[in-house]
Amino acid sequence: MRTWRFHEPGDIRNLILEETEKPVPGPDEALVNIHCAALNPADRYLVQGQYPRAGTPPFTPGRDGAGIILQPAAGGRFKAGDKVCILGGLTGVSRPGTLAEYCPVPEAWLAPVPANWTFEQAAAAPLVHLTAWRALVICGGLTGADTVLITGASGGVGTAAIFLAKARGARVIALSRSKSKRKTLEAMGADYALDIGSPSLEQEVRQAAGEKPVSLILDTLGGPFLEKCARIIAAHGRILVVGLLADLKSEITLGLLIHKNLRLQGLSVSAFTPNEIQDAWDSILGCYGNSSKRPLISRIFPMEDVQDAFEHLHAGPLGKVVIRITEHRVER
Ligand SMILES: NC(=O)c1ccc[n+]([C@@H]2O[C@H](COP(=O)([O-])OP(=O)(O)OC[C@H]3O[C@@H](n4cnc5c(N)ncnc54)[C@H](OP(=O)(O)O)[C@@H]3O)[C@@H](O)[C@H]2O)c1
């Protein structure tokens, strides 16, 4: 089979497209013929050797993927030919990932591709939606009364968070550096989209929020933005730290946490158990319901162009970056 692997951690250019043996699934695992994968910043960190619990090289990254069951687990709930997507687990972390034509995945971490969704959409959605759900709903206790601020709002996690927060009836203020992306974020439901680089950001957010100040923040950036979040948020607010795209270190004025009675919490999507993740995924799909809304995809790349796709992701996409792995070719 064709697969992208790195033999040594380092630059993303260390990834090489290779021919390897088709993997043999273990007990409780299904062999999935991957049709589409989606990239996440964590895949880059993993290739760079900066990810905890990463698999030993030569290693195939890729945590998100959707495809068709080629070989089901014995006595499992899926059969050959079923369309599935990967919700989580160690795929693309310490187990072989989805940037390959075939991927063995424990059945407990699989779910059917939602009805009327494409493989591209089903590959794009899980990791970022489950992260946003864990942050907003499970850790943040989101309600319709919240005003939610989202940093890095145009990215995978950010666009999922906008969708989920709006679906739960909250007000959303989205932050992005790009004027054109801010327009799209408002078109997709954000009540306000503001320039995160504005010197008067705090004032602008307060003005937009009006009588219902920001009560919940999902931060994907870290670095200098965490202090800004603590300044912007109302007393008793909750700040959920999801990512560190701006910097992995932040300086924060502890007096803000104390005097405003703030809750500051980090979280990892990897903390889900298989049962929890299936429940969360069902709830996320419930938010989509029968609507025609779908996860936002920035661009779809062919398998050969994975490195260009990583560059596109690094440059700040609007939504998810998807890789088409197999053109709907199913070997039986
Ligand atoms: N904790 C977890 O379990 C978990 C799960 C998933 C992701 N994450 C992390 O969450 C972060 C976001 O992931 P993602 O998939 O949403 O990433 P993404 O799709 O690459 O999008 C992030 C967005 O953030 C903005 N951005 C990037 N660098 C920035 C900077 N230096 N300053 C200001 N804005 C910047 C860009 O938007 P504009 O260009 O529009 O400003 C970009 O589109 C990453 O660090 C990722 O590793 C964590």
Residues 260-312 pLDDT 10s: 999 999 999 999 999 999 999 999 999 999 999 999 999 999 999 999 999 99
Question: Phi/psi at 153 (nearest 5 deg)?
Answer: -70, -15
Q: Tell me which long-range contacts 290-293 makes (C-beta under 8 A, separation of at least 24).
A: 293/163
DSSP assignment of 102-153 equals EEEEEGGGEEEPPTT--HHHHHHSHHHHHHHHIIIIIIT---TT-EEEETTT
> Relative to the CA of 267, which ligand 1 atom is closest?
1
Residue 267: both structure tokens together: 């979280």
Q: Is the distance from the beta carbon of residue 316 to the nearest atom of ligand 1 less than 6 Å?
A: yes
Residues 189-245 pLDDT 10s: 999 999 999 999 999 999 999 999 999 999 999 999 999 999 999 999 999 999 999
Q: Is the distance from the beta carbon of residue 317 to the nearest atom of ligand 1 less than 6 Å?
A: yes
Residue 1: pLDDT band with limits 50, 70, 90: very high
Q: Is the distance from the beta carbon of residue 126 to the nearest atom of ligand 1 less than 6 Å?
A: no
Q: Residue type for 124, please?
A: A
Angle at 16 between CA 10 and CA 22, to 5 degrees: 125
User: 297 C-alpha vs ligand 1 centroid, how far in Å?
Assistant: 15
Q: DSSP assignment, residue 258?
A: H
Residues 65-83 pLDDT 10s: 999 999 999 999 999 999 9
Mean per-residue pLDDT for 251-258? Answer: 98
Res. 143: pLDDT tops 90: yes
Tell me, what's the pLDDT at 327? 64
Determine how β-strand 147-150 pairs with β-strand 216-219: parallel
User: 22 C-alpha vs ligand 1 centroid, how far in Å?
Assistant: 33
Q: Is the distance from the beta carbon of residue 178 to the nearest atom of ligand 1 less than 6 Å?
A: yes
What is the chain's mean pLDDT, rounded? 96
Q: Is the distance from the beta carbon of residue 274 to the nearest atom of ligand 1 less than 6 Å?
A: no
Q: Residue type for 23, please?
A: P
Tell me, what's the pLDDT at 263? 98
Residue 198: both structure tokens together: 């504005």
As a whole-number percent, the residues of the chain with pLDDT over 90 amount to 97
User: 220 C-alpha vs ligand 1 centroid, how far in Å?
Assistant: 5
Residue 7: both structure tokens together: 């033999």
Res. 328: pLDDT tops 60: no
Pair 150, 218: CB distance under 8 Å: yes
Tell me, what's the pLDDT at 294? 96
Closest residue to atom 22 of ligand 1, CA basis: 155
Closest residue to atom 31 of ligand 1, CA basis: 246
Tell which residue, 239, 227, 244, 242, has the closest CA to residue 264: 239
User: 221 C-alpha vs ligand 1 centroid, how far in Å?
Assistant: 6
Element at 297 (helix H, strand E): strand 297-302
Residue to mutate (ligand 1; options 157, 162, 179, 297; most atoms within 8 A of CB): 157
Tell me, what's the pLDDT at 53? 85
Instruction: Report how far residue 114's alpha carbon sits from residue 123's, in angstroms, rounded to the nearest whole number.
Output: 11
Strand partners, 36: 66, 324
Tell me, what's the pLDDT at 303? 97
Domain assignments of the chain as residue spans, ordered by start: 2-125+295-324, 128-269
What is the CATH superfamily name and number for domain 128-269?
NAD(P)-binding Rossmann-like Domain (3.40.50.720)
Which CATH number, 3.90.180.10, 3.40.50.720, 3.30.930.10, 3.40.190.10, labels domain 2-125+295-324? 3.90.180.10
Res. 104: pLDDT tops 50: yes
Instruction: Report how far residue 128's alpha carbon sits from residue 121's, in angstroms, rounded to the nearest whole number.
Output: 12
Mean per-residue pLDDT for 37-43? Answer: 98
Total-model pTM? 0.97
